[in-house]
Chain A
Amino acid sequence: MIRIENMYKIYNMGDNEVRALDGVSLHIGANEFVSIVGPSGSGKSTLMNMIGCLDTPTEGKYYIDGTEVSQMRDDQLAEIRNRKVGFIFQSYNLLGRLTVLENVELPLIYAGLAKNERRHLAKEALKKVGLEGREHHRPNQLSGGQQQRVAIARALVNKPSLILADEPTGALDSKTGEEIMQMLREIHQEGNTVVLITHDKEIAKNAKRMISIHDGKIFSDCEVKYA
């Protein structure tokens, strides 16, 4: 599904350069549930942005489903993000001026779907995350956990195969956090590839495989033993 070969992301080339990714190679198969852990500033988000085609590497190759994306242009990347990737961010990143339903519809608008179909799929996705009846609320009328669930619905609505979650529980209390994690496990069980980014090893144990990263380098990659 995903293959990264010797990837570098270097900021401020020259004086006091920052190597956010320092020679990362990685393979993630279809329907895996992987967590990426590491302390703050270790390069987790940078790696996730690379996997999600939001960012382009300074050096190295990246393949999704066998096609190289590291050389693609802006608009081609946008299309891959739209069709193959669903993002879940720590800060939800919903559009405050749109309703819940409109937020969830947004990826489908950019996919070019007709209105009726969009409505239908968006409502279905909201139902799945348990937010029926909230379609016409604004994000700021919802709790943090509910907002994150809207974000999950938005990530799922276009039926991408790869779900990327960057500290999805970082802004939530442990109980709602656990609900969100439960949801990610379900998404994985339905056949999606899930990549979870966190600095918390306990949360990382939800995944079946844990990759530790430090100063832009992978230093361990192992199966998680269930308790």
Chain B
Amino acid sequence: MNISQAVKMAIQSVTSNKMRSFLTMLGIIIGVAAVIIMVSIVQATTARIKAQMENMGTNMISVTLTGRNSTRNLDINDMQKLVADNPDYFICVAPTITGNPRIKVGTVNESTNLIGSNQHYSSIHNATVEFGRFISEQDCITRRKVVVIGKYIQNHYFPGEDPIGQILKVSNQVFTVVGVLEAKTSTIAQGSQDDRIIIPYTTAQRLLRNAIIRTYSFQAVSAEVSEKATDKLEELLLKLLRNENAYRVMNQAEMLENVETMTETMSLMLGGIAGISLLVGGIGIMNIMLVSVTERTREIGIRKAIGARRRSIMTQFLIESIVVSCLGGIIGILLGIVGTYLVGRAINLEAVATAGVMILSAGFSITIGVFFGWYPANKASKLDPIDALRFE
């Protein structure tokens, strides 16, 4: 007896009792769909968090002074010396001063996010210039009133115009637009990362009447050295400030690593839960197969009387259980694809079931069919033909 014949027999038997077959499959269907939905959502969430973190910068290490009215200061020269002394660890450093001034072009007058920094901010924070130029070292030294604007500012204040060389008033002071940044978001909305302006930090200190720089961002040479670079930085900070609680250091590479570990743990946990539901589904299949073997004892006897070997009977029942579990797997995969889409839409996440997780689930279903079908099929194949024929 060949396999295609056995598959045909199995399908015949599965379709002859549709309701029971469906209920048997239900465990597998739910298990497979659950695996696909959970894994896909976790993958999509991770991808989003990683994208957001990569948007923040590349191999970035930042230090922020804590304590609202602390008079402690970090001198930019100390920071620049750290970079210059440790070229194996650091590429560059950018100070950051933030503010929330009102800006004005013609009659349009709204507040925006202001960042005061230097020429390195662009590479550290992935703030790429779309056209024009970024602020330069010379701008900082001479406290020029030049400004690089985000995409939202361009769209909102200079619609249909070339903004380069135009005047933009920041807190009633006249600035010249020298560059426009590439969009960071897809919506380019007000209040988003594209709603911002960048000016030289020296100019910002004057404009905001604030000489203290509370935040510096460093760029490490690579993700690998970023931990050592962080140690170096903390060593210097402790020496300068003499208080561990006066500052907070954030290491981007480490944060990415943390996200990855968290995702792994979550995947394992969810995978375990889904695995248990698949196991329960498998036991359901075994149960029904055992019932089916008992019910069909006479059929087995007849088949044996006319010449079926053990192998033929074994194959027949094994394939039947594989067909049930695969059918369940297929329905589960379809349900998983739809479910992933719906859940993703509900929580506003672009989630799609990947081929990898679908192949994994399909493999799982077949394995369950074989594993849990084996015992009943073996039992059927070993029935004594005489006993089987006598069975009522």
A interface residue numbers (CB < 8 A to B)? 49, 52, 54-55, 74-75, 78-79, 81-83, 87, 89, 93-95, 97-98, 106-107, 109-112, 154, 158
Q: Given A49-B386, A93-B389, A112-B1, do A82 and B306 touch, yes or no (CB 8 Å)?
A: yes
CB within 8 Å of A: which of B290-318?
298-299, 301-312
Contact of A109 with B309 in the complex, beta carbons under 8 Å: no
Least CB distance from A190 to B in Å reads: 20
* With contact pairs A81-B305, A82-B307 given, residues A95 and B5 touching in the complex (Cβ less than 8 Å): no
A93-B13 in contact given A75-B310, A75-B311, A110-B312 (Cβ < 8 Å): no
- Taking A49-B386, A75-B311 as contacts, is the C-beta distance between A95 and B302 under 8 angstroms? yes
Is the Cβ of A97 less than 8 Å from the Cβ of B302?
Answer: no
Which residues of A are found within 8 Å of B12, using beta-carbon distances?
Answer: 97-98
Chain A: which residue is nearest B12 at the CB level?
A97
Task: Provide a sorted-by-A list of 25 A–B residue pairs whose CB atoms are within 8 angstroms.
Answer: A52-B305, A54-B304, A54-B305, A54-B385, A55-B385, A74-B309, A78-B304, A78-B307, A78-B310, A83-B307, A87-B305, A87-B306, A89-B389, A93-B302, A93-B389, A94-B302, A97-B12, A97-B16, A107-B307, A110-B303, A110-B307, A110-B308, A110-B309, A110-B312, A112-B2
Q: Which 8 residue pairs spanning A and B have beta carbons closest together?
A: A82-B307, A110-B307, A107-B306, A78-B309, A75-B309, A93-B302, A81-B307, A55-B386
For A89, the chain B residues whose CB sits under 8 A away are 389
Measured CA separation A172–B2 after assembly (Å)? 37
A93 touches B305 (CB 8 A): yes
Nearest chain-B residue to A96 (Cβ)?
A: B299
* Contact status B389-A97, CB under 8 Å: no
List residues of chain A with CB within 8 A of the CB of B305: 52, 54, 81, 87, 93
Q: Name the one of A52, A54, A110 contacting B1, with C-beta atoms under 8 angstroms.
A: A110
Residues of A within 8 A of B16 (CB): 97
Question: Hey, which chain A residues are within 8 Å of B13, CB to CB?
Answer: 97
Contact yes or no, A79 B309, CB < 8 A: yes
Which residues of B are found within 8 Å of A78, using beta-carbon distances? 304, 307-310
Do A111 and B302 form a contact, CB below 8 Å, given A54-B385, A97-B13? no
> Given known contacts A75-B309, A87-B305, A97-B13, what 7 new A-B pairs fall within 8 Å (CB)?
A75-B311, A78-B304, A87-B306, A94-B302, A106-B303, A110-B307, A110-B309
- Chain A contacts for B302, CB-based, 8 A: 93-95
Main secondary structure of the interface of B (DSSP, over half): helix
**Min C-beta distance of B377 to chain A, whole Å:** 15
How long is the Cα–Cα vector from A87 to B385 in the complex, in angstroms?
13
Which residues of B pack against A, CB within 8 Å? 1-2, 5, 12-13, 16, 298-299, 301-312, 385-386, 389
CA distance A110 to B308 in the complex (A): 6
A111 to B306, CA, bound (A): 10
A154 and B308 CA atoms in complex are apart in Å by: 14
What residues of A have a CB within 8 angstroms of the CB of B307 in the complex? 78-79, 81-83, 107, 110-111, 158
Q: Are B306's CB and A81's CB within 8 A?
A: yes
Kindly list chain A residues whose C-beta atoms are within 8 Å of the C-beta of B306: 81-82, 87, 106-107, 110, 154
B389 partner residues in chain A, CB cutoff 8 A: 54, 89, 93
Instruction: List B contacts of A49 (CB < 8 A).
Output: 386
Least CB separation from A83: chain B residue: B307
State A23–B12 Cα separation when bound (angstroms).
Answer: 46
Inter-subunit contact B310/A74 (CB<8 Å):
yes
Closest to B390 in A: A45
CA distance A107 to B303 in the complex (A): 8
Q: Please, how many angstroms separate the alpha-carbon atoms of A98 and B9 in the complex?
A: 9
> Could you say which of A49, A74, A111, A154 has the most chain B C-beta atoms within 10 Å of its C-beta?
A74
Q: Which residue of B lies closest to A106 (CB)?
A: B306
Q: What residues of chain B lie closer than 8 Å to A81, measured between beta carbons?
A: 304-307
Q: Shortest beta-carbon distance, A192 to chain B, in Å?
A: 16
Contact across chains for B299 and A95 when beta carbons are under 8 A apart: yes
Task: Note all chain B residues with C-beta closer than 8 A to A52.
Answer: 305
A11 vs B112: C-alpha distance when bound (angstroms): 98
CA distance A186 to B53 in the complex (A): 89
In the complex, how many angstroms separate the beta carbon of B161 from the nearest chain A beta carbon?
Answer: 77
- Given A54-B385, A93-B389, A97-B16, answer yes or no on A109-B1 (Cβ-Cβ < 8 Å): yes
A109 CA to B307 CA in the complex, in Å?
Answer: 9
Q: How far is the CA of A97 from the CA of B13 in the complex (A)?
A: 8
Cα A122 to Cα B269 in complex, Å, equals: 57
B298 nearest in chain A by CB position: A93
A154 to B12, CA, bound (A): 20
Chain B residues closer than 8 Å to A93, beta-carbon distance: 298, 301-302, 305, 389
Would you give the shortest CB distance from B132 to chain A, in whole angstroms? 76
CA distance A107 to B16 in the complex (A): 22
Report how far A54 CA is from B383 CA in the complex, Å.
12
Taking the nearest CB of chain A, how far is it from the CB of B368, in angstroms?
A: 25
Q: Indicate the member of B16, B299, B302 with the most A CB atoms within 10 Å.
A: B302
Q: Is the CB–CB distance between A54 and B386 below 8 Å?
A: yes
Residues of A within 8 A of B311 (CB): 75
From A78, A83, A95, A107, residue with most partner B Cβ within 10 Å? A78
Chain B residues with CB under 8 A of A75 = 309-311
Provide the residues of chain B in CB contact with A107, threshold 8 Å. 306-307
What residues of chain A lie closer than 8 Å to B2, measured between beta carbons? 112
